[in-house]
Every structure is written in structure tokens, then in C-alpha cells.
Amino acid sequence: MPARTQAKAPSRLTAKGSATRQRIIAAAAELMFDNGAAHTTLEDVRASAGVSGSQVYHYFADKQALVRAVIDHQTEAVLADQQPQLAHLDSLAGLREWRDAIVDHQHRLQRRGGCAIGSLGAEVAETDPAARRLAATGFRRWEAGIREGLRRMHARGELTTAADPDDLALATLAALQGGLLLTQIQRETRPLEVALDSMLDHIASLTVTAVEPAARPAR
């Protein structure tokens, strides 16, 4: 990868420099979420972050480097927001609460923007292989959070032996992403609700239900 497309390593920055760099990334993330990467210029970012053009180029060699930093930023933000629910995805109740939190979040966003990782990743996937790989890594981390909960359910014997937690996690993430895309386009959360409910109903169908002891015959 050409050196000119690399952002300066954060470890080389002073505390003030790191804060300025983060402010630029946060401003770019908000603009790109609202308008897309293609319609966000470095001048837009400079104005939004309240920095000079030279400061932008001091921390980011070019727009590609900034886009990659934004993907990392969005990945961390999404996973941090999801963490309270991801830690409890080892039960049907926890999965339902996670589903409700995602739907509520889309209502707060007014059904705009889609997935913060997926929308930007899809936009640059065919033009910036490094950015695509960063988005793919973000999705793998998200999938891992879902998978760990399902694996715990499986290990406790709460899922049938035929259930594959890894496949279920991937399918759940795919349902989530498809639901978010349709929610963004249609400006309603029903596609997201139906996609997640269908997937969680499928997981529920694979749970092991305790068998009630047979009634003893009357004597």
C-alpha cells in the first residue's frame, strides 16, 4: 500500500494532537453518515471540525486515509453501543432485548443512515480494498459478539445438538444488515423488526424445552 495513503500513527501524537485527530475523525464520521463518503469533502470536514486545512493533512495524507479512520471509529462506536446487550446474548430474553435496543436506536435516528459500518463499507468496497477489509473486520467482531452468546447457550445444552451457533450468528448478523438496509430505504422499521423476529423465532425453535413428567395413572 503506498505510504501516502497512510494516516500518522496515533501513538506518535501528543495528547493535544490525538484529541485534534479524533475531533477530525468524529466530524468526518458524522458527515459521511449523513451524506456518504463521496459527498463529503475534506473542506467539509475541516469546517465541521473547526481546524485548518493544514491540520487535516497533518493527520491524514488524503481522503482515503480519513475514510479508513472513520470506518475504525464507526466500528468502535457501534460495538461500544452494542456491548451492554452483546454481553447477554446467551438467552432468548437477552436476544429479544438486543433486538428491541436496535429497533429503538433506528427510531432515534429517524430510520436514516442504515448501518454505520455497512453503509460506508459498501460505498467504498469496490474502490478501496483496505477500507473494505476494515469494514469486514468490524463485521467479524460484531458477529463474534453474537456467536459467543449462542455458544454459551449451546454449551449449557439450551440449544439442540443439531444447532450450529456459528451459522446462527452469521445468519443473525445478515438478517440485521438486510433489515437495516430496508429500514433506511423504506424509512420504516418493519423490515428490521420482521428480519430479526424471524431469525430469533428460528433460534427459539432450536432451544431444548424441558419435558414435563408424564402423569401417573390413577390407581
Exposure of 2 by Cβ count < 10 A (0-12 exposed, 13-18 middle, 19+ buried)? exposed
Cα(204)–Cα(92) distance, integer angstroms: 7
- DSSP annotation of 210 reads P
Q: Answer whether residue 3 shows pLDDT above 50.
A: no
Overall CATH class of domain 16-60: mainly alpha
Q: 210 pLDDT exceeds 60? A: no
What are the grid coordinates assigned to 193, written together?
423488526
pLDDT tens column, 58-84: 999 999 999 999 999 999 999 998 888
CA–CA distance from 52 to each of 8, 22, 63 (Å)? 17, 14, 15
pLDDT confidence of residue 122? 94
Residue 8's pLDDT band (boundaries 50, 70, 90)?
A: very low
The whole-number pLDDT of residue 14 equals 86
What share of the chain has pLDDT > 90, as a percent? 82
The pTM of the full predicted model, rounded to 2 decimals, is 0.84
* pLDDT tens column, 103-140: 999 999 999 989 999 999 999 999 999 999 999 999 99
Residues of the chain with CATH 1.10.357.10: 70-205
Q: Span 202-214, mean pLDDT?
A: 72
- Does the pLDDT value for residue 1 go beyond 80? no
Q: How high is the pLDDT of residue 11?
A: 53
What is d(CA 193, CA 100) in angstroms, rounded to the nearest whole number?
9
What pLDDT, on the 0 to 100 scale, is given for residue 85?
85
Q: Name the CATH code of domain 70-205 (choices 1.10.357.10, 3.90.640.10, 3.30.420.40, 1.10.1050.10).
A: 1.10.357.10
Considering the chain, tell me which residue range(s) the CATH 1.10.10 domain(s) occupy: 16-60
Task: Count other C-beta atoms under 10 Å from residue 25's C-beta.
Answer: 21
